[in-house]
């Protein structure tokens, strides 16, 4: 009996080196961007010294938060609007493209190095000196919402962005009925589930190539994404551009 297999068809050329990766999409001369990232989960930035990095060979630019602000880059936090319990909106603090006063997670970008080659960008990044003052941090969800937990965002008391009841409309009557059902139940089980951090396993690191055309004022971005309009609109909002 014959079988028809409707499996994945895109993997074989990628595994054989016949695919098209980010580094294959070069169009003319390309500059390389490399981020200096935070080694701390929570820390105050006392000082950043990029003088040596800027003097490093083949370096085109070394940018900090001050440069990003001067360029008009806005809040990079662009979550989908979600309404929480009792109609409370999601709290969306200002999240800078490069950390300015504090770092709030391991790997947060602090300095951006742009150079003519990847090696030159990496070498210059090693010359960036950042003075951190480590601050208390928590990694457990229950500890993060405890009354005495370190507060990451002043705009989000209790470290809670939104208390989301789920897709079912929230109402006092519905919650009262749930509480009454639990009170009448002969047994109540409390279960705590710990889930691993779920991430994609890309065949190449996340990356993108961008190009600006001064003749038309247009931008071209090549990146891995699940939707063009959302990506376009978010970047336009961050950079203060018209989506068109």
Q: Each residue of 72-81: pLDDT tens digit?
A: 999 999 888 8
Lowest mean pLDDT among 47-51, 85-89, 91-95, 211-215: 85-89
Name the pTM for this structure.
0.83
Using one digit for the tens of pLDDT, what is the confidence trace for 133-155? 999 999 888 899 999 999 999 88
Using one digit for the tens of pLDDT, what is the confidence trace for 90-112? 999 999 999 999 999 999 999 99
Please give the pLDDT value at position 145. Answer: 93
Return the CATH number of 11-161, one of 3.40.50.2000, 2.30.40.10, 3.90.1170.50, 1.10.150.120.
3.90.1170.50
Q: Is the pLDDT higher at 49 or at 195?
A: 49
Measuring CA to CA, which residue among 77, 76, 91 is closest to residue 163?
A: 91
Confidence of residue 115 (pLDDT cuts 50, 70, 90): very high
Confidence of residue 2 (pLDDT cuts 50, 70, 90): low
What is the arithmetic mean of pLDDT over 35-60? 97
Distance CA 159, CA 149 (A): 8
Give Cα 205 distance to the centre of its chain. 14
Distance CA 115, CA 203 (A): 25
Q: Where are the domains of the chain?
A: 11-161
Question: Maximum distance among all alpha carbons in the chain?
Answer: 74
């Amino acid at each position: 009996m014959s079988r028809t297999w409707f499996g994945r068809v895109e993997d074989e050329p990628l595994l054989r080196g016949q695919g098209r990766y980010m580094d294959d999409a070069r169009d003319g001369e390309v500059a390389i961007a490399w981020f200096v990232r935070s080694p701390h989960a929570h820390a105050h930035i006392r000082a950043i010294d990029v003088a040596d990095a800027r003097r490093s060979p083949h370096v085109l630019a070394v940018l900090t938060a001050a440069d990003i602000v001067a360029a008009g880059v806005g809040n990079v936090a662009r979550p989908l609007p979600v309404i929480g319990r009792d109609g409370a909106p999601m709290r969306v603090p200002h999240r800078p493209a490069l950390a300015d006063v504090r770092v709030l997670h391991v790997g947060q970008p602090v300095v951006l190095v742009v150079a003519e080659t990847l090696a030159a960008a990496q070498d210059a990044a090693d010359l960036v000196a950042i003075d951190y003052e480590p601050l208390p941090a928590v990694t457990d969800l229950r500890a993060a919402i405890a009354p005495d937990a370190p507060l990451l965002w002043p705009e989000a008391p209790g470290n809670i962005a939104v208390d989301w009841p789920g897709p079912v409309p929230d109402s006092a009557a519905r919650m009262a009925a749930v509480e009454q059902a639990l009170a009448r139940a002969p047994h109540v089980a409390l279960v705590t589930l710990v889930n691993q951090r779920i991430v994609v396993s890309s065949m190449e690191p996340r990356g993108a190539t961008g190009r600006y055309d001064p003749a038309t004022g247009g931008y071209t971005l090549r990146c891995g994404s699940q939707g063009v309009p959302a990506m376009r609109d978010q970047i336009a909002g961050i950079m203060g551009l018209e989506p068109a």
